[in-house]
Chains A and B, each alone.
Chain A
C-alpha cells in the first residue's frame, strides 16, 4: 500500500481494508506479549492533534504509536473554531514546521482533515471529523466483526441510532460495504441524514424507521448477524429531534426485552457500540454487559488497528509494505 493519508473510509479498497485488518491481527498478537514494543516506527514523529475531546481514540493512537517506537506527542485544544482565532491552516503549518511525519487529527468540523492534507507534507489520519467520518473506528468495528463472524460477505449488520450526527455510521457503511456485508441503518426520521434515500440507493444499503421490523424480520435470512448501537449525542440534541429520552428508548433502544427476543433466535449475536455509552438510553445495561457483547473487544481492537494503519501509512516508506 502506498497511501499517504487516511481521510475517508472511501479511500480504501477492499484489498487495502483486508491488508490493514490482517496486519492488525498480527499487531494484536504483539499486544499479548510481555514486551509489547516493536521498533517499526523508531525515529518517526506522530502528533495526535485533538481539537475535540476524546479518551479512547486519542489514547489508543498514543499507545499504538508508542508500541511501534514512534515519538508520539499529544496536542489538545478547542481553539481554531472562530474567525478571530488562529486559522486552522496556521495552526497545522506551525506544528508541521517541527518536522512531523504524521498528524492524527480529531476536529469538530467536518472536512477538517481533508483541508489539512492539502496544506501539509505530513501524513494525515482522520481520527474523527465533525459529523463526517471516523475511518479507524470503522476498521476496528470490521476487525471485531470478523473475529466474531469470520468473513463478512453477505452478513447483515444493523446500525441503530443518531445517524444524522454520526461519523461512525458514515465510515461504517463504506467499510462494511467494502467487505461484502449487507447493512441496514435504523433511526427516527429526524435523525436520518439528509438525502439518505438517494444516498442509500446509490451505495447499496437499506434504511428503516422501524427497529423491531428490522430486528425480527420474518425471513431468517433478513435477521441481523450483528447489531451496532450508536450513541445518542445528547449535546447535539438541542433541536428537539425526539420528544423525550423515554420515547427514544421505547422506539430505538436495545432494551432488555428486545435483547431477550433477539437471543431467542440468535444467542451469540454480537452487540457493538463505539462508546461512550448512554446506558439506559440507547442500550440497556443487560445488552451492554451481555455475554455476546463485543464492546470491550472493540476497544482492544482499537490499538491493533491503529498500529496497522500507522504501519501501512508510515512504515511503507522505509521498508517493504506487508
Chain B
C-alpha cells in the first residue's frame, strides 16, 4: 500500500502539520520536512499531497442517508451513493432502512453491508427497521440484525414515524441488551398525514398546500423523550426542524435523559418561502421551516443541544419529482454539499470553528451510531479516515456533475464555500475534487 504524506494541512483548522499515513493508519504527525515530492521512500511508494492552506478533518459520518438499493436502483445504488458520500468528504454513512424490500432482517442488513464493501468508497453501515416492513405494527427482528455481520445498532422506520407509543416503548426496552438506539422520524400522522408537504403557516395557506404543522413534530419528540426516560434507552431525533422540538430536547438533556438529535443542512439553510414557485425540488419531509425555526435549530447546533449534522440525502428519479407538487416524492440530495452548506451557515459567520464542526459531522455521529474507527482524533495510531477541504475557495454547485444518479439538488447553481479536495478512507484516496477512485489519476493528487 502506498504511503501518503499530507503536507501542511491545518489539523482541525488549527496549526499546520504534516501527516504521514502508512498501512491505513496515521503513522506520524508533525514537521516531516525532508520529503517534498512523491516517489520511492524506504522501499515503499510515497504520495506527497501538498495541503498548504487546506484544512484536514476526520472523515465525515452521516447518520442519515438513503441509498435506495435494493429497490430503486434507478435513483441511487449503494455504489453511486457511496461515491457521492466520498466526494462530499464522508468516510462512513448509515443507510436508512426504507428500501424495497425493507431492511428488517439480518439478511437484508448484511446485503447492504456487502454492497457497501464491494463499492469500497465509504463504510456503509445499515440501519435496521424498527417495525416489520415499516408498517408500525410489529417489531422487526432487531436482535437478529444486531447479531448479524452487519452488527446493526441504529434502528429507524424513517420516512414514517413509530407513532404507536406501545410499539416505541417495546422497541426501546427490547434493544437494551445490545445497546441500540432508535432514530425517530418525529411526525404525528394525525396532525401531519402523508399528504402534508408545506410548513403550516401563511405560505401553506396562500399556496393551498397541505399543511405540516410544527406541532406534529413537537408532540412526538415530547413523548419520545419521556419514553426514553421511562425505559432508560436511547432515542435519537432525526432531522429536527422546529424551535419547540429544540426546547424539549434541551430540557430532556438537562434532566439527563439519553436523547440525541441531528439536523440537516437544508433545514438550516433553506426556508419555507422557497415553495412559492411550487418546485418539487424543495419538497422534503419534514418541510422547510420559517426563519424563526431555522434560527433556533442553528443556535441549538451551535450550543450542542443538537449533537450532529446529518444529510437525509434522498435521491429520486427525475420522473418522481415531475408530478404536481403535492404528488411528487419527498426529499433532496445532500451528501456532496453538506460540508459546504455548514461552512456557509456556521463556519464562515464564526458560529463554529472547524474543530467544532468536526464534532458535529464526525465525532458525534460516529459515537451515536457506535461506529468504531470513525470520528477519531487526527492522531498517531488512529485510522487514516480524513477529509481535506479548501477553506478559502468557493465552488458553484452543478447538479449534472453529481456522483449521485439523481438530480434533485436544491443547491444547483449556488456558490458555496469550502470545496472538498480529497477524502481518505483508511489511507486510501477515495475522492479527489468531486471525482472518485477510478475517475482520477492517482498521480493527480500528488
Q: Is A58 an interface residue (CB 8 A)?
A: no
Determine the distance from Cα of A89 to Cα of B279 in the docked complex, in whole angstroms. Answer: 12
Whether B325 contacts A194 by the Cβ 8 Å rule is no
Q: With A83-B327, A110-B278, A194-B202 known to touch, is A90 a contact of B208 (CB < 8 Å)?
A: no
Q: How far is the CB of B280 from chain A (nearest CB, A)?
A: 8
Chain A residues with CB below 8 A from B206, complex form:
170, 193, 195, 199
**Residues A194 and B204 in contact, CB atoms below 8 Å apart:** yes
- With contact pairs A81-B327, A194-B200 given, residues A114 and B278 touching in the complex (Cβ less than 8 Å): yes
Asked if B71 is at the interface of the complex by the 8 Å CB criterion, the answer is no
How many interface residues does chain B have, given as a range? 20 to 34
**By the criterion CB–CB under 8 Å, are A81 and B202 in contact?**
no
Interface size for A (C-beta < 8 A) is 29
CB-based nearest B residue for A132: B208
- Which one, A87, A89, A111, A115, contacts B207 given CB within 8 A? A111
Give Cα A167–Cα B206 distance, bound, in whole angstroms.
Answer: 10
A89–chain B nearest beta-carbon distance, Å: 4
On chain B, the residues within 8 Å of A110 by CB distance are 207-209, 278, 324-326
Quick check: is A109 within 8 A (CB to CB) of the other chain? Answer: yes
The answer to whether B324 touches A88, judged by C-beta atoms less than 8 angstroms apart, is yes
CB-CB < 8 A to B324: which residues of A? Answer: 80-81, 88, 107, 109-112, 115, 130
Find residues 74-89 in chain A having any chain B CB closer than 8 Å to their own CB: 80-83, 87-89
Chain B nearest CB from A88 CB (Å) reads 5
A contact residues around B329 at 8 Å (CB): 83
Which chain B residues (305-326) contact chain A, with CB distance < 8 Å? 319-320, 322-326
Interface residue? B146 (CB, 8 A): no
Q: Which residues of the other chain, B, contact A198 by a CB distance below 8 angstroms?
A: 201-202
Closest to A51 in B: B324
Contact between A111 and B201, CB atoms less than 8 A apart:
no
Minimum CB–CB distance from A227 to chain B (whole Å) comes to 23
- Binary contact track A102-144/B, C-beta < 8 Å → 1, others 0: 0000010111101100000000000001111100000000000
- Asked if B278 and A111 sit within 8 Å, CB to CB, the answer is yes
Any B CB within 8 A of the CB of A196: yes
Q: Which residues 210-240 in B have Cβ within 8 Å of A in the complex? A: 211, 213
- Residue pair B205, A88 in contact (C-beta under 8 Å): no
**Most chain B C-beta atoms within 10 Å of own C-beta, residue among A90, A111, A112, A133:** A111
CA distance A4 to B213 in the complex (A): 36
Q: Which residue of A lies closest to B329 (CB)?
A: A83
Q: How far is the CA of A147 from the CA of B202 in the complex (A)?
A: 33
Partner of A195, one of B201, B320, B322, B326: B201
Closest to A133 in B: B208
Given known contacts A110-B278, A111-B207, A111-B209, A130 and B323 CB-to-CB distance under 8 angstroms: no
CB <8 Å contact, B323 and A167? no
A82, B327: Cβ atoms closer than 8 Å: yes
- Do the beta carbons of A87 and B208 come within 8 Å of each other? no
User: Which of chain B's residues have a CB closer than 8 A to the CB of A115?
Assistant: 278-280, 324-325
List chain B residues, Cβ under 8 A from A82.
Answer: 327
- Whether A89 and B278, one on each chain, are in contact in the complex, defined by CB atoms closer than 8 angstroms, is no
Q: How far is the CB of B397 from chain A (nearest CB, A)?
A: 20
Considering only residues 248-307 of chain B, those with a C-beta below 8 Å from chain A are 277-280
The answer to whether B326 touches A130 (Cβ under 8 A) is yes
Residue in chain B with minimal CB distance to A107: B324
Contact (Cβ within 8 A) A194 B327? no
A88 touches B200 (CB 8 A): no
**Is B203 engaged at the interface, CB distance under 8 Å to the other chain?**
yes
Q: Which residues of A contact B204 (CB under 8 A)?
A: 193-195
Q: Is the CB of A88 within 8 A of B327?
A: yes
Q: Which residue among B202, B320, B328 has the maximum number of chain A CB atoms within 10 Å of its CB?
A: B202
Asked, given contacts A114-B278, A194-B202, whether A80 binds B209 with beta carbons under 8 Å apart, the answer is: no
Q: CA–CA, A194 to B205, complex, Å?
A: 5
Most buried by B among A107, A115, A167: A115
Q: Of all chain A residues, which has the CB nearest B326?
A: A109
* Chain B residues positioned under 8 Å from A109 (CB to CB): 323-327
- Which chain B residue lies CB-closest to A198? B202
C-alpha gap A134/B53 in the complex (Å): 57
Contact A111 B325, beta carbon cutoff 8 Å: yes
What's the nearest-Cβ distance from chain B to residue A224, in Å? 23
| Separation of A205 and B205 alpha carbons in the complex (Å) | 15
**Which residues of chain B have a CB within 8 Å of any CB of chain A?**
200-209, 211, 213, 277-280, 319-320, 322-329
Q: List 25 A-B contacts (CB under 8 A).
A: A80-B324, A81-B323, A83-B323, A83-B327, A89-B323, A90-B319, A90-B322, A109-B323, A110-B209, A111-B209, A111-B325, A112-B324, A112-B325, A129-B208, A131-B209, A132-B209, A133-B208, A167-B208, A170-B208, A193-B205, A193-B206, A194-B202, A194-B204, A195-B202, A198-B202
| Given A111-B326, A170-B206, 13 further pairs, Cβ under 8 A | A80-B323, A83-B327, A87-B319, A90-B322, A109-B323, A110-B278, A110-B325, A111-B208, A112-B324, A115-B279, A132-B208, A193-B206, A198-B202
> Can you list the 8 inter-chain pairs with the closest CB atoms, starting with the nearest?
A195-B202, A111-B278, A109-B324, A132-B208, A193-B205, A131-B208, A89-B322, A110-B208
Q: Which residues of A contact B (CB under 8 A)?
A: 80-83, 87-90, 107, 109-112, 114-115, 129-133, 167, 170, 193-196, 198-199, 202
